[in-house]
Structure 1
Amino acid sequence: MAHPTPDPVAPGQESVWDYPRPPRVERVDRRVVIRLGGEVIIDTGDVVRVLETSHPPVYYLPIADFAEGALVPTVGGSYCEFKGAARYFDVRGGDASAPKGAWNYPEPAPGFELLADRVAVYARPMDACEVDGEPVVPQPGGFYGGWITAAIAGPFKGTPGSMGW
């Protein structure tokens, strides 16, 4: 399947079509806040993101920085050809729960060691996810966990017809 035409890139933006494949993992100087059930379940400046062609960044946050009881290991898993075997967590905050709302790679593949003690969270079931105070938009579709901000240009994988991108 042919790739789509990348959207125009405004000053200060990155195009997801300039991101690499295989993905790159990098530390970034950002503040991430996530709310669920009316509570802040994490507020951290210790942020790593994974960048992959056609995907908005996926933000990985230290497990230790989450509020106590916010991450509950659950059954099931998946496998990424680049990062390795993933496990899932139910995410809890206040009186809300997001089943399988987060995942991590406890023993990531070589090159992705920075992800070992970090968790990525799906934005869609949360009350709010913010990067440097900006509310994020979840990546389209139900499988991918990227976060869309004004700093990136698409189009983004996850929309109907994008499976082969």
Structure 2
Amino acid sequence: MPERVCEYPRPPALQASSQHIVVRAFGQLLAETQSSFRVLETFHPPTYYLPAESFAEGALVPAGGRSFCEWKGIASYFDIDFGDRCLAKAAWSYANPTPSFDPIAGWIALYPGLMDGCWIDGELVRPQPGGFYGGWITSGVEGPFKGDPNHPELI
């Protein structure tokens, strides 16, 4: 039975996961891990945070800009760089998150809609609607999702 995102908590919960995650960009393997964290927040599909060492060497390049999350703190951004190709500000991290999210310090989240594909246990992820959100939609989660234009009350 799918998880209903309307039942996810607010403030969000942090959950360790051993699901097999594969991310590809520009036709290349960007990241692979079986150790991640899911952030579960009301009306959002899970956002996955992957250990920095699961990313291809040199693919994460610090980028300008920061943002603030009332739950996690200040995020900084990364470009995904494969030499001749770059995805600007496609990933982010919290170097010094709030105490509740300390386990994800230095871990990396990314926008699945900017990637060639993200897979969880072999299932291709659909990106959360809206350019600001980094949620990963699979058959294991049920909406409606924040950012979905079919649900303007959640935008």
Tell me, what secondary structure is at the counterpart of 1:43?
strand
In the alignment, the residues of structure 1 paired with residue 94 and residue 110 of structure 2 have an alpha-carbon distance, to the nearest angstrom, of: 13
> Is contact 1:123-1:129 (8 Å) kept?
yes
> Alpha carbon RMSD of aligned pairs, Å?
1.2
Q: Partner of 1:23 in structure 2?
A: 12
Q: Distance in 2 between matches of 1:120 and 1:32?
A: 12
Equivalent residue, structure 2, for 1:49? 38
Q: Does residue 56 of structure 2 align to residue 67 of structure 1?
A: yes
Note the alpha carbon deviations across 1:35-57, whole angstroms, 9 max, x for none: 01111011110111100000000
Q: What is the CA–CA distance in structure 2 between the aligned matches of 1:95 and 1:75, rounded to whole Å?
A: 19
Separation in 2, partners of 1:143, 1:112? 20
Q: Is the 8 A contact 2:39 2:47 kept in 1?
A: yes
Distance in 2 (CA, whole Å) between partners of 1:68 and 1:146 is: 24
From 108, 114, 117, the equivalent of 2:97 is 108
Q: Where does residue 125 of structure 1 map in the other structure?
A: 114
TM-score calculated relative to the size of structure 1: 0.89
CA apart distance, 1:96: 3.1
Deviates more, 1:41-50 or 1:90-99: 90-99
Match of 2:139, SS state, is: coil
Q: For residues 94 and 74 of structure 1, do their structure 2 counterparts lie closer, same or farther at Cα, with a shift above 3 Å needed?
A: closer
Equivalent residues, number: 153
TM-score with structure 2 setting the length = 0.94
The residue type paired with residue 71 of structure 1 is: L
Q: Which of 86, 92, 95 pairs up with 2:81?
A: 92
Q: Which amino acid aligns with 1:25?
A: L
Alpha-carbon deviation of 1:163? 4.5
Q: What is residue 8 of structure 1 aligned with on the other side?
A: none
- Once the 2 structures are TM-superposed, how far is the Cα of residue 97 of structure 1 from its aligned partner? 1.8
Letter in 2 for 1:129: C
Residue deviations 1:88-113, cap 9 Å, x none?
A: 00012474321000001100001101
Q: Distance in 1 between matches of 2:82 and 2:8?
A: 33
The corresponding residue for 1:144 is: 133
In structure 2, how many angstroms separate the alpha carbons of the residues matched to 1:31 and 1:126?
A: 17
Question: Structure 1: 5+ residue runs without aligned partners?
Answer: 1-11
Q: Which runs of 5+ in 2 are unaligned?
A: none
